[in-house]
A and B are shown apart, each in its own frame.
Chain A
Amino acid sequence: MKTFKIVSIIGFIGFATISCSPERATIVQGKSGVQLWSETCMRCHNTPSPADFNDADWSTIEMHMRVRANLTADESKKIFDFLRSAN
Chain B
Amino acid sequence: MKRIILPLIAMFFVSNLVAQQDSKPSKTQFMIRGYGSAGFQALNDEGEKESSFNNGTFAPIILFKFSDKFMFETEMEFAYENGELETALEYANAMYTVNKYITIRAGKFLLPYGTFMERLHPSWINKLSSVPLGFGHDGIAPSSGVGVELRGAFILNGSRFNYALYSTNGPTLNDGNDEPEEAGILHFDNYEDNNKNKSVGGRIGFLPFTDSSTEVGFSFLNAKVGDKDSNYKDVSSNLIAYDFSFVKKVNSLGGIIDIKAQYNTSVTDDAIYIEVHEDGDEEEYTFENSSDSFYAQLSYKPTMSASNFLKNIELVGRYSELNTPEGAEWESNVNQTAFGVNYWLSWRSAIKVNYQIADGTGGHGGGRIDNKIFTIQWAFGI
B-contacting residues of A (Cβ < 8 Å)?
1, 5, 8-9, 12, 15-16, 19-29, 31, 36, 38-40, 42-49, 52, 56-57, 59-61, 63-64, 66-75
Which chain A residues border B95 with CB–CB below 8 Å?
Answer: 63, 67
The 4 A-B residue pairs whose C-beta atoms are closest, nearest first, are A24-B158, A20-B157, A70-B162, A46-B347
Smallest distance from the beta carbon of B300 to chain A beta carbons, Å?
13
Distance in Å: Cβ of B60 to nearest Cβ of chain A: 15
Residues in B neighbouring A48, C-beta threshold 8 A: 347-348
A-B CB contact pairs (8 Å), 19 listed: A1-B265, A5-B240, A19-B158, A19-B159, A29-B155, A40-B212, A43-B245, A44-B119, A45-B124, A45-B125, A60-B31, A63-B71, A64-B71, A64-B73, A67-B71, A68-B119, A70-B151, A72-B154, A73-B101
* CB-based nearest B residue for A41: B347
> What is the minimal beta-carbon distance from A84 to any residue of chain B, in angstroms?
13
Contact of B158 among A21, A61, A69 (CB under 8 A): A21
Q: Known: A12-B218, A73-B100. Contact between A22 and B347, CB under 8 A?
A: no
Interface residues of B in 219-256 (CB under 8 A from A): 240, 242, 245, 247, 249, 256
Decide: A28 and B158 in contact? CB cutoff 8 A.
yes
Assess the A12–B164 pair: CB atoms within 8 A. Answer: no
CA distance in complex: A1, B164 (Å): 24
Give per-residue flags for B36-79: 1 if the beta carbon is below 8 A from chain A beta carbons, else 0.
00000000000000000000000000010100100101000000
Closest to B245 in A: A43
> Are B151 and A67 within 8 A (Cβ)?
yes
On whether the beta carbons of B155 and A72 are closer than 8 Å, the reply is yes
- Among candidates A31, A44, A47, residue contacting B120 with C-beta atoms closer than 8 Å: A44
Decide: A46 and B344 in contact? CB cutoff 8 A: yes
Contact, CB under 8 Å: B100 / A24: no
Kindly identify, within residues 81 to 106 of chain B, every residue whose CB is under 8 Å from any CB belonging to chain A: 95, 97, 100-101, 103, 105
Nearest CB in chain A: distance from B18 CB, A: 17
Q: What chain A residues lie within 8 Å of B156 (beta carbons)?
A: 20
Name the CB-closest residue of B to A43.
B247
Q: Judging by beta carbons under 8 Å apart, are B206 and A12 in contact?
A: yes
For residue B148, give the distance in angstroms from its CB to the closest CB of chain A. 14
Set of chain B residues within 8 Å of A70, measured between Cβ atoms? 112, 151-153, 162-164, 205
Whether the Cβ atoms of A52 and B256 lie closer than 8 Å is no
Question: Is B7 engaged at the interface, CB distance under 8 Å to the other chain?
Answer: no
Known contacts A45-B124, A56-B29, A69-B119; is-contact A15 B103 (Cβ 8 Å): no
Q: How far is the CB of A21 from chain B (nearest CB, A)?
A: 6
Q: Is there a chain A Cβ closer than 8 Å to B187's Cβ?
A: no
- B residues near A (Cβ < 8 Å) are 29-31, 63, 65, 68, 71, 73, 95, 97, 100-101, 103, 105, 112, 118-120, 124-125, 151-164, 205-206, 208-213, 215-216, 218, 240, 242, 245, 247, 249, 256, 258, 265, 344, 347-348
Residues of B within 8 A of A72 (CB): 100, 153-155, 160
Please give the distance in Å from A47's CB to the nearest CB on chain B: 7
Cα A10 to Cα B249 in complex, Å, equals: 30
Contact A71-B153, Cβ < 8 Å, known A39-B212, A64-B73: yes
The answer to whether A24 touches B347 (Cβ under 8 A) is: no
CA distance A48 to B125 in the complex (A): 12
Q: Is the CB of B29 within 8 A of A60?
A: yes
Select which of B63, B215, B216 is within 8 A of A64 by beta carbon: B63
Instruction: Write out the residue numbers on chain A whose beta carbons fall within 8 Å of the beta carbon of B151.
Output: 67, 70
A87 and B210 alpha carbons, distance in the complex (Å) = 27
Instruction: Give chain A nearest CB distance to B72 CB in angstroms.
Output: 10
Q: Tell me the nearest residue of chain B to A73, going by C-beta.
A: B100
Given the contacts A48-B347, A49-B347, A64-B73, A43 and B162 also touching, CB distance less than 8 Å: no
Cα A28 to Cα B63 in complex, Å, equals: 31
In the bound complex, residues from chain A placing their C-beta under 8 Å from that of B205 are 70
Complex contact A68–B242 (CB within 8 A)? no
B30: chain A residues within 8 A (beta carbon): 60
CB distance from A32 to the nearest CB of B (A): 13
| A48: nearest chain-B partner, CB-CB | B347
Tell me which residues across on chain B come within 8 A of A67, comparing CB atoms.
71, 95, 97, 103, 105, 151
Known: A8-B242, A57-B31, A73-B100. A20 touches B159 (CB 8 A): yes
Give chain B residues whose Cβ lies under 8 Å from the Cβ of A26: 158
A29 CB → nearest B CB, Å: 8
